[in-house]
Amino acid sequence: MITVSLCMIVKNEERILARCLDSIADLMDEIIIVDTGSTDATKQIAAKYTDKIYDFTWIGDFSAARNFAFSKAGMEYIYSADADEVLDEENREAFRLLKETLLPEIDIVQMYYANQLSHGTIYNFDKELRPKLFKRLRSFQWQGAIHEQVNLEPVIYDSDIAIQHMPENNHKDRDLAAFVQRTEAGERLDKRLHNIYAKELFISGEDKDFIAARDFFRQSCQDDERSVDEIKEAACVAARAARICSDIEDFFKYALKVIACEGCAEICCELGEYYLQKHDIDEAVLWFYNGAYETESILNIHSGGDIPLTGLARCYREAGNTEQAAEYERLAGEWKVPCA
């Protein structure tokens, strides 16, 4: 049986920390809690489960905090958890079985992160695999009878364990503020963070968030080192921000950039909104229809589903076609996020 260190970073989690630890503590051989500045009873609650509680001065870097937590682990594997996660009884038993049967060559175990859509953060699927269990020390072996080389790729196992993500609220204000702080300081976001920033804006951002992000994504559109996909997502954000600011020239400039790259559901919805606001119903219907049926979403999966269907309903209701409006309202209400 493998041994597992639980590593968590926490801050002001007094309302939910015990719920998380009650569901996993007995499965762990060691519990590491790293506190990044709690002002409530988080550390006192943690002390009921472990004496390995460490303070870490918050520097605005989640990776630094997680790396610090991992550095304190001493077991064979490390399980990384957040305070808003819960394992139900069925998945607790699956975790227990995993500990008994995991092959030693496995470096990373992925588990399903479920219930992701409850608070509209950056997720487009309610359930998807994530790396959660990590081998603390990897062993390297030479492979190949000739032209031998060391295998550098991790051995990953996709388990059936499903972790319930049960946040109390949406962290988008914290996340978006961090993106603004970093981009205004001149940081160039890598491809992954660039995508996450754009996704979080389209999934849960408010008008003020798009305006705050506008300059960064306009600059991204001019960045020769960005891929076509990055430019598309940047242009989507820039177009939405321009529409919010009533900058029509800029709006069409960035909308056309996306269309020139084969388009996407997000920009179709933006054009639908623009023409609906202008009371040009025929054009609005055209673009909402394209969003719903002719293109795919790249940032918010709802942009290819209930959002344009609702837009079509609004168009037909404004045109006085209540029967067609009711039909699209029904379709929007019945639309479901597809499985990952």
CATH class given for the domain over 4-165: alpha beta
Q: Residue 338: CB partners within 8 Å, gap ≥ 6? A: 125, 301
Residue 275's pLDDT is: 98
What is the pLDDT, as a whole number, of residue 116?
A: 56
Q: What is the pLDDT of residue 151?
A: 75
pLDDT score at 166 = 83
Eight-state DSSP code of residue 339:
P
What does the alpha-carbon distance between residue 273 and residue 246 come to, in Å, rounded to a whole number? 12
- C-alpha 140/C-alpha 138 separation (Å) is 6
Written as six digits, the tokens of 35 are 């506190």
Instruction: Give the domain ranges of the chain.
Output: 4-165, 172-334
The residues with which 98 forms a beta bridge, in sequence order, are: none
Radius of gyration of the chain (CA): 24
| pLDDT the model gives residue 123 | 58
Joined tokens for residue 320: 């006085």
DSSP codes, 30-43: EEEEEES---SSHH
User: What is the pLDDT at residue 150?
Assistant: 72
Question: Is 250 exposed, middle or buried, given 0-12, 13-18 or 19+ CB atoms closer than 10 A?
Answer: middle
H or E stretch at 81: none
Any bridge partners for residue 135, and if so which? 77
**Which phi and psi (to 5°) does residue 80 adopt?**
-100, 120
List, for the chain, all residue ranges whose pLDDT scores fall below the cut of 50. Answer: none
Q: Quote the pLDDT of residue 173.
A: 81
Compute the residue count for the chain.
340
Residue 124: per-residue pLDDT: 56
For position 165, what pLDDT does the model report? Answer: 85
pLDDT digits 0-9 by tens, 37-89: 999 999 999 999 999 999 999 988 889 999 999 999 999 999 999 999 999 99
Tell me which of 3.30.300.20, 1.10.3720.10, 3.40.1050.10, 1.25.40.10 is the CATH number of domain 172-334.
1.25.40.10
pLDDT of residue 253: 97
